[in-house]
Amino acid sequence: MVITLIIILLKKTGLIAKILEDNWDTFYKANKYLVDEYRKNAKEEFKKVIACHNKDLGSSVYQCPQCGDFIFVGNTCKSRFCSSCGFKYKLERIENIMSSAYNCPHRQIVFTVPKEFRKFFFFPLDRIDIIYQAVAETIYSFLNNSFKKTKKGKKKYISKEKFMAGFFAFLHTFGRDLKFNPHHHILIAELKISDSKIKK
């Protein structure tokens, strides 16, 4: 019983929390100026992730009404950066977004930056806005321009009526391998809208 209790009290969120716990202080001391300038809340958020699910954030006690055994379960950090708590936030965010989306089929599109150019978007972080702008311009161009084959080659046609799509853009700054990889997930409605028309 005592052994089980100790194990639960020392529970961590997993590999990412362990990596942060082992390396955050050293990293922060070496890069304090950059971290504080570009992400003022980073120190606070990383400390939350490290403390998630362990006794540092407090815990709840659960007791079995039949056998009388009880366990302590560490409280969560509620940080969007946490791989555990962030998943719950993501689900809540999706539900909120879908309640305000157009009632029609949607598709997902991913826009990414070639690995050779990713280093140019790391600092300063306001360069990420360039990716947002490129995404919007690409979608706008796709909806309003078309190309048709002619005897002389391809000819570009530009729509007289200007259309835009309803879409949501989600920025992810790292990939599955946890390396810096800025990319956007776009949830886009399968229709285009102008001042006077709606088309599939």
pLDDT tens-digit readout, 5-15: 444 444 445 67
CB 108 within 8 A of CB 187: yes
Q: How confident is the model at residue 124 (pLDDT cuts 50, 70, 90)?
A: low
Higher pLDDT, 96 or 3: 96
User: What pLDDT was estimated at residue 14?
Assistant: 65
List the domain boundaries for the chain: 2-74, 101-199
CB 58 within 8 A of CB 75: yes
Q: What does the mean pLDDT of the chain come to?
A: 80
User: What pLDDT was estimated at residue 116?
Assistant: 92
Q: What is the pTM of this model?
A: 0.56
User: What pLDDT was estimated at residue 22?
Assistant: 87
Segment 178-186 mean pLDDT: 84
CB 184 within 8 A of CB 167: no
Which of 170, 167, 165, 164 lies closest to 184, judged by CA? 170
